[in-house]
Amino acid sequence: MSRPLSIRSSTPSRFGLGLLAGALALAAALGTAVAAPARRPNIVFIFSDDHSLQTIGAYGGRMATFLREQKVTPNIDRLAARGGLFVNSFCGNSLCSPSRAAILTGLHSHANGVMNLNTPILPGTWTFPESLRDAGYQTAVIGKWHLAATPAPTDFWRLLDGQGTYWHPEFITPLGRVKKTGYATDIITELGVDWLKNRDHTKPFMLMVHHKAPHRNWMPPARYYNWLSNVTIPEPDTLFDDYTGRASPAHNQKMEIGKIMTLNSDLKVMEPGKWIGEFNRMSEEERAEWSAVFGPRNEAFKNAKLQGRDLVRWKYQEYMKDYLRCIKGVDDSVGSILTALKSEGLEDDTIVIYASDQGFYNGEHGWFDKRFIYEESIHMPLIVSWPGVIKPGTRFTQMVQNIDYAETFADITGAHIPEGLHGRSLLPILKGQTPKDWRHSVYYHYYDPDHGVPKHYGIRTERYTLVHFYITDEWELFDLKKDPKQMRSVYSDPSYAKTVLDLKAELLALKTYYKDTSDQPKSEKPGNE
């Protein structure tokens, strides 16, 4: 097993500081010039919710031509063209709060305490903003936090309450709750740009802009209500998967577009005037604007009386259009922030990162949502622009995880890195110097039985996915080279017997290394599944 962790502190030593001071003093005495220390870069971290790789143009994939033609993500694509994107970027637990906790702490779920949507990070756990603040950085987070009672460890925060709302959201601030009028993505962007302009200009900074979009139930901004209305979204060829050749969880999940996606809440097929959910937050004028576009659509749908596969196809199309409309709003945000950085003269001194908390199903296997260790769910987009460091258009192929973010941010800024983190700094990779002992497999453990997806753990290597559904003691193995869409488990195939043994050994080694015993009955506690 390759060594999964490199632990060190990047805080300058007293010895190193002494040498620097001595050199400066000697230079002054001799009348010579000494170059000033390199300016530390700023970081802007733009983070969305449930944004899949397959709906980002720069990543290519099954929808690449459509995405380019419709200009779905031009600003995110521009960011990738200026820097690089990670092809093999993964989460360790495909769920909103656990992923966010892993990013903040550099630890897997069992170690930071956030296994589901309702539990805060364990008190006393280190988070990277604390080290950045100690290192002299200004820190700010604006938007979705979704970490139960975990306080924001930043200088400035404006946090959505829980999942937050798309329309007229309320923010938790140091002075109490504040309601903002408008659409959440735009408001979060405006708050971020305002903070950039009014920050302390004498200090480097890290700004985190965390969007709610494109989280379910996919309510787009009004300016995009009509966008995509007359086009057809490409269907995945697994839309009508029957799950033959896989274990029981694939058959028993509750994520199917045809069976689970609701007409009223998810797809907004409502009777005129019978508003539900966030529509009750909208003004009469805003509802009228929505009704003018979607009212005729709903009437046509009701008259069509669709059934069977025709109904599934209609639901897929309407789901994907709203999903992409939400993403279009996020892409606008990326563009606005890039423009603000340029106008502030920060373009060349700022690392800009775009990521999402996990992947998402866009009809593949007939599903929406995430949770499984499978490809569409476990993949996270990760795009990094760093002028002068990352060669434009780079496609990083190394296997990275969200547990790597915390150490990376600390390493870039020269902040303290504590011992015992599960992740590793990506700084050498960003500079084109991949460590020889870099990982060749990533560890995964999912705990929340919602949506019919049972607890499971496993590993994803460069070629294989091995998964153990330990409640029912079922195993699956997928050969991604021969079966990239994961349509048939080869776990019981005799020709893969040695592969199974090798991967189980690797899985056990990772579980042991990370000290994960959370699958054992003794660790089961009510309310903390």
Residue at token pair 């269907």: 235
Q: What are phi and psi of 101, to 5 degrees?
A: -65, -40
* Contact in structure between 474 and 456 (CB atoms under 8 Å): no
How far apart, in whole angstroms, are the C-alpha atoms of residue 352 and residue 46? Answer: 8
Structure tokens at 162: 């829980």
What is the residue whose two structure tokens read 């139930």?
Answer: 217
Distance CA 131, CA 153 (A): 10
CA angle 361, 364, 367 (to 5 degrees): 60
Supply the pLDDT for residue 15: 28
**What is the DSSP secondary structure assignment for residue 263, as one 8-state letter?**
T
pLDDT at 13: 33
Q: CA distances (Å), 186 to each of 190, 330, 344, 463, 504, in order?
A: 6, 8, 20, 40, 47
Antiparallel, parallel or unpaired: β 400-401 and 42-48:
unpaired
Q: At what angle do helices 405-413 and 96-105 cross, to 10 degrees?
A: 30
Under 8 Å between Cβ of 100 and 106: no
Q: In residues, how long is the chain? A: 529
Could you list the pLDDT tens digit for every one of the 529 residues in the chain? Answer: 344 433 233 333 322 333 333 443 434 444 444 344 468 999 999 999 999 999 999 999 999 999 999 999 999 999 999 999 999 999 999 999 999 999 999 999 999 999 999 999 999 999 999 999 999 999 999 999 999 999 999 999 999 999 999 999 999 999 999 999 999 999 999 999 999 999 999 999 999 999 999 999 999 999 999 999 999 999 999 999 999 999 999 999 999 999 999 999 999 999 878 999 999 999 999 999 999 999 999 999 999 999 999 999 999 999 999 999 999 999 999 999 999 999 999 999 999 999 999 999 999 999 999 999 999 999 999 999 999 999 999 999 999 999 999 999 999 999 999 999 999 999 999 999 999 999 999 999 999 988 999 999 999 999 999 999 999 999 999 999 999 999 999 999 999 999 999 999 999 999 999 999 999 865 444 333 3
Element (DSSP H or E) covering residue 431: none
Give this prediction's pTM: 0.92
The CA distance from 133 to 153, in Å, is: 9
Angle (CA) 356 237 383, round 5°: 20
Please name which of 89, 79, 64 lies closest in space to residue 392, comparing C-alpha atoms.
Answer: 79
The span from the CA of 132 to the CA of 403, in Å, is: 17
- Ordered by start, the domain boundaries in the chain are 14-27+36-218+317-432
Query: Residue 377: what are its φ and ψ, rounded to 5°?
Result: -85, -45
Would you tell me how many other CB atoms lie within 10 Å of the CB of residue 53? 23
CA 41 to chain centre: 23
Tell me which DSSP letter residue 441 carries: E
| Second CATH level (architecture) for the domain 14-27+36-218+317-432 | 3-Layer(aba) Sandwich (3.40)
User: The tokens of 48 are what?
Assistant: 């969305």
DSSP 522: G
**pLDDT value of residue 6:** 32
Q: E strand or H helix at 345, and its extent? A: none
Token pair, residue 300, equals 């046509």
Q: What is the pLDDT of residue 38?
A: 64
The b-or-e profile of 331-367 (16+ CB within 10 A means b, else e) is: bbbbbbbbebbeebebbeebbbbbbbbbbbbbbbbbb
Instruction: Please state whether beta strands 138-143 and 156-160 pair in parallel, antiparallel, or not at all (unpaired).
Output: parallel
Asked whether the beta carbons of 386 and 41 are under 8 A apart, the reply is: yes
Nearest C-alpha neighbor of 319 from the set 261, 373, 402 = 261
Whether residue 118 has a cis bond before it, omega within 30° of 0: no
Residue 426 structure tokens: 């990506």
C-alpha–C-alpha distance, residues 480 and 477, integer Å: 9
Query: What does the alpha-carbon distance between residue 308 and residue 361 come to, in Å, rounded to a whole number?
Result: 20
**189 contacts 335 by C-beta, under 8 angstroms:** no
How far lies 28's CA from each of 34, 36, 126, 262, in Å? 9, 13, 40, 73
Cα gap 94→36, rounded to integer Å: 44
Q: Which of 459, 331, 389 is nearest to 56 (CA)?
A: 331
Q: Give just the sign of the alpha carbon dihedral 185, 187, 193, 199.
A: negative
d(CA 285, CA 483): 50
pLDDT at 527: 39
Map residue 273 onto helix, strand or coil: coil
- Pair of tokens at residue 224: 């995009």
Alpha helices (runs of H) in 135-282, residue ranges in sequence order: 184-198, 248-252
